Amino acid sequence: MFTDRRIERHQLPYFLKVFNSVTDKPIGFLGNVSADGLMLISQLPMMVGVDFDLRLKIPASDGCQQVIDLTACCLWCHEDETPHHYDAGFSLQRAPPEYGQLVEALTQYFSFQPMPASA
């Protein structure tokens, strides 16, 4: 049986919470991101066709947090495979440059990069 891993596994220490930027209360977790939107995983269904004020709190290496506030419209919502959880897709209305940097950083982190050729 094959047991040697050829690709390093990247284990995330925790899920990135998504907050309501008005109340600062958590509403779910980031499922995935793109330049134009995101998927939210929550314990409650989201209202489709409604704009939400969302907040991401990104941990920094110095122990501080970077806050990214977004306005996004919920395009769809359906029950997740996990019982009592819902997936919702959002289209971003206004995203600051920091969101684009987050998308780029996550894309780089989770992409297979070619190894530099050895001399």
Judge contact between 74 and 48, C-beta under 8 A: yes
pLDDT of residue 3: 53
pLDDT of residue 43: 95
pLDDT of residue 116: 66
Q: pTM higher than 0.85 for the full model?
A: no
Helix/strand number for the chain, H first, E second: 1, 6
Q: Where are the domains of the chain?
A: 9-108
The Cα–Cα gap between 113 and 71 comes to 32
> Given 1.25.40.10, 3.90.228.20, 2.40.10.220, 1.20.1260.10, which CATH number is that of 9-108?
2.40.10.220
Which candidate, 76, 20, 23, 30, places its Cα nearest to that of 52? 20
Residues of the chain with pLDDT under 50: 1-2, 5, 7-13
How would you class 37 by CB atoms within 10 Å of its CB: exposed for 0-12, middle for 13-18, buried for 19 or more? middle
pLDDT of residue 98: 86
The tens digit of pLDDT for each residue in 81-113 reads 989 999 999 999 878 888 888 888 777 766 666
The Cα–Cα gap between 47 and 40 comes to 12
